[in-house]
Amino acid sequence: MDLQDLVIPEGVIAHLKVTSKKQALQELAAKAAQVTELDERKIFETLLERERLGSTGVGQGIAIPHGKLASLDKLHGLFARLDHPIDFDSVDEKPVDLIFLLLAPESAGADHLKALARISRLLRNQKMVEKLRATENNEALYALLTEPSASATSVA
């Protein structure tokens, strides 16, 4: 599972300016709507539903909001680097400044879980996270996320 198949260059935001979790999800839903040509509201609500089951803030300043949409054609990922960390109700209560959003079609099955595992492991890699925090433009971030060495540690 390569991140290249999930994220397109337009899906990377190096400077997202938001002040709250809700606003961050809204902005990301808007961006996702552009990429997927689906209804922004519907995406936002899907993400909120998942947050109601428990925050996707996994700790160490990272959040991985995700959800399933019936009308989606394939897996879509977005990555955002926040200018100012925001409160995300994370497990460790630390403010979040890196967000990876994953949307999956209803029938994605194993691919969806593989992609989630892949993203979760990538963002638990301290070195990777440091690099992502230090990178300030879209192209460089995209290159970093999709570089082969990042995929080399992939399982399965």
Partner 1 sequence: MLEAQTVAIFIVAGLVCAAILSSLLSFRIGSPLLLVFLVVGLAAGEDGFGLVVFNDAGTAYLIGSIALSVILFDSGYATRFRSYRAAGVPAVVLATAGVLLTAGLTGTAAKFLFNVGWLEGMLLGTILASTDAAAVFFLLRVGGVTIRERIRSLLEIESGTNDPMAIFLTLTLVELIAAGAGIETLSAGLLGRFAWAMLGGALIGAAGGWLILVAVNRIQFDKPLYPLIVLSLAVTVFAMASIVEASGFLATYIAGLIAGNMRMRYSQALEDFQSGVTWFCQIAMFLTLGLLATPSEFPAVFAGALAIAAFLIFFARPLAVWICLSLFRFSPADMTFVSWVGLRGAVSILLGIIPLVGGIGDGQSYFNIAFIVVLLSLAIQGWSIGPVARWLGLLVPPIKGPVDRIQLELPTASRHELVTYKIAPDSPVALGARMPRWARPSLVIRDGASMSARRAGRLKEGDSIYIFVTPRQVQLLDKLFARPVPEDEFTSTFFGDFILKPDARMGDVAPLYDFSVSEEEAELSAEEFLLRRLPQPLDMGDRTTIGTVDLIVRALNEEGTRVLEVGISVQPMRPSLETMPLPLPASVRKVLLKAIGSMRSGMREE
Residue of 2, 37, 109, 137 that binds partner 1 (CB under 8 A): 109
Active site residue 76: no
Q: Measured between alpha carbons, how far is 117 from 49 in angstroms, rounded to an integer? A: 20
Tell me the window of 22-30, 44-52, 77-85, 132-140 that interacts with partner 1 (CB under 8 A): 44-52
- Rule CB under 8 A: is residue 42 a binding residue for partner 1? no
Tell me the window of 5-13, 73-81, 101-109, 138-146 that interacts with partner 1 (CB under 8 A): 101-109
Residue of 114, 143, 147, 151 that binds partner 1 (CB under 8 A): 114
Task: Specify whether the CB–CB gap between 57 and 90 falls below 8 A.
Answer: yes
Q: Which residues contact 156 (CB under 8 A, 6 or more apart)?
A: 1, 114, 117
* Cα distances (angstroms) measured from residue 146 to each of 67, 68, 80: 22, 23, 14
23 or 153, CB closer to partner 1?
153
* Cα distances (angstroms) measured from residue 73 to each of 4, 65, 76, 154: 16, 19, 9, 24
Nearest-Å Rg of the Cα atoms of the chain is 14
Residues annotated as catalytic (active site), given as ranges: 66
- Interface residues toward partner 1, by CB under 8 A: 49-50, 52-56, 58-60, 64, 66-68, 91-92, 106, 108-110, 112-114, 116-117, 120-121, 124-126, 155-156
